[in-house]
Structure 1
């Protein structure tokens, strides 16, 4: 029985089973339908064999391609395809939720064969059918600029697998067309065209190995360059917790001698006391500025910074060379420093 015959038979049976009459008749028919089966009496009377083991099906809920579900069902029931009643009853067991509700709304005695059941099933869910791709779809595939040759091969194979009836001539032409014209594989397929798609893929796989090596080498070079830049940046910046490098004026005498000469001046500010336990400090190192043990006066950062501020205010310039004074002036101008209390070069202390 061809598809047209099945369609005609089912439509005629539906017309014969139309509900007619008054409300009471319609209500009685609905009750009868709830207690009846969409299958004919011949199918209902066939009992399932005790030796039959129901396969593990993926159930159909009414929201996917009906043809895919039919193919799935037929492949698992291939050993029983000649047993029409068994095919019908087992197929009904694969329906769930909305699809199960639909099945029980079918008129009583409508289905007399699995072909009829398959017809009404696909007709009901035809809007969920997947649009099949034709071989021309492959002509739209192109290798992207940032895509490796291996990835292009995989994508092409995956798309071709979804196309039924794609011959090698179209496949070979589409694969080559999707390659950049400057690609070495494109030139190879032009000079020595392959007769089958298997040969095209084999040739492409050889080129893909070289392509992968080039990509890996490029990534390695980029990683090495990035690491070199990060190392250079790390060397140019002070490490976390390390004191910043400071630049101090070069004096003509040691700074501890300067402190000895100016320690009684009114503009000299006393520093904060040294922190830490005095009993644990190195008593061999004494700082006159802090008046405590811990470090030498010449190594005291607090005295060095305070001395720089005093110099910029015009004090103690007699202890530095005129060239150094000019450098301080230039630095202040560059940093937009405000005017100092005294002009540089003053000999007052």
Structure 2
């Protein structure tokens, strides 16, 4: 029987199944349906192949995409796709709840092939099909104003994974379109466009590190401003190794990069060795300022604190903005701190 014939047969079921009717007749029909099968005699009597074992299928309960369920089923039954009767029986075994109830409402002997079964199945649950996103969608979604670059990259990768047929070249172009034109990463991808998508994401990852540091510095700036305003004094300094986020100086590059550029300068002071049991320290985290394990250089408060002192002595001024210099002056004035040996803005080393 063709698929259209099956559909016609399903639509022409007795009316007493749909609207009730005599109770005894309805009960008799229900019992007959429970003892019968929608499959033809050939499918019912077909014996399973030797050494066939039931796979771990995801059961269908009506509330998921029927096409995705069929793809999942076919991929597990790839070695048995030519055995039509087996495909029908195993598919029916993995229906649950309302979907199983629907299956048993199909007329007895109406399904003679797996093709017919999939036709009536997808037609029944077509309203649960997931609308697939196309390539145009990827070009029409942009970075949110309050979204970090790292979160933006993560969201782009997730969206791209949901689009079938999106090759690397299209993804590279779409990713650039996601970015605001004033974004530094957009400028980098325009001036020196990477050759592959892997290179695009590698470049984006470098800028994400920088963006993370900027966000942390902005939060630290807000904390310090509030503390200066409310308490008229600098925020108390935590112990060495604590996160370097409670400072009001905003640097233009990550502080581990500053250390790499000034590590040989004579005015750089070496810190005291890290305390504690070395065997219990996290060897995945290395601090180049302490030259030891336990925390990252970017999280080293001792280095951040020393870096602030160096700025007040006129060093490392190329790593902060003019606005940050003015903030230092304002906060020091509020705290009545004495002037340092060298004036702000000095570039002498």
What pairs up with 1:138-149 in 2 under 5 angstroms? Answer: 138-149=138-149
Describe the SS at the equivalent of 2:130: coil
Q: Does 1:226 align with 2:226?
A: yes
Q: Which residue of 2 aligns with 1:89?
A: 89
Conserved 8 A contact 2:6-2:120: no
Q: How much has 1:67 moved relative to structure 2?
A: 0.9
Change (3 A) 1:168 1:19: closer
**TM-score, scaled to structure 2:** 0.57
Q: Does 1:178 align with 2:171?
A: no
Flag structure 1 segments of 5+ consecutive residues without an equivalent: 1-7, 235-349
Which runs of structure 2 are paired with 1:236-255 in the superposition (5 Å)?
A: none
Q: 1:11 aligns with which of 4, 12, 17?
A: 4
Q: What's the CA shift for 1:14?
A: 5.1
- Kindly indicate whether the alpha-carbon contact (under 8 Å) linking 1:10 and 1:116 is maintained by their aligned counterparts in 2: yes
Q: How many residues align?
A: 227
| Alignment partners' CA distance in 2, 1:71 and 1:99 | 17
Deviation at 1:63, TM superposition (A): 2.1
**CA drift at 1:60:** 1.4
Report the RMSD for the aligned CA atoms in angstroms: 3.1
**1:210 CA displacement:** 1.5
Q: Structure 1 residues 233, 205: CA separation in 2 closer, same or farther (over 3 Å shift)?
A: closer
Whether contact under 8 Å (1:39, 1:108) holds in the other structure is yes
Distance, in Å, in 1 between the alignment partners of 2:196 and 2:158 is 17
SS of 1:198's equivalent? helix
The aligned residue for residue 193 of structure 1 is 193
Structure label with greater radius of gyration: 1
Query: 1:40 matched to which residue of 2?
Result: 40
CA contact (8 A) 1:14 1:110 kept: no
Q: Is the 8 A contact 2:227 2:233 kept in 1?
A: no
C-alpha distance in 2 between matches for 1:128 and 1:19:
24
Shift in CA distance, 104/76, structure 1 to aligned 2, threshold 3 Å? same
In structure 2, relative to structure 1, the CA distance for the partners of 1:16 and 1:146 (3 Å cut) is closer
Q: Equivalences for 1:91-170 in 2 at 5 Å?
A: 91-170=91-170
What is the Cα deviation at residue 73 of structure 1?
1.8
Higher deviation after alignment, 8-17 or 143-152: 8-17
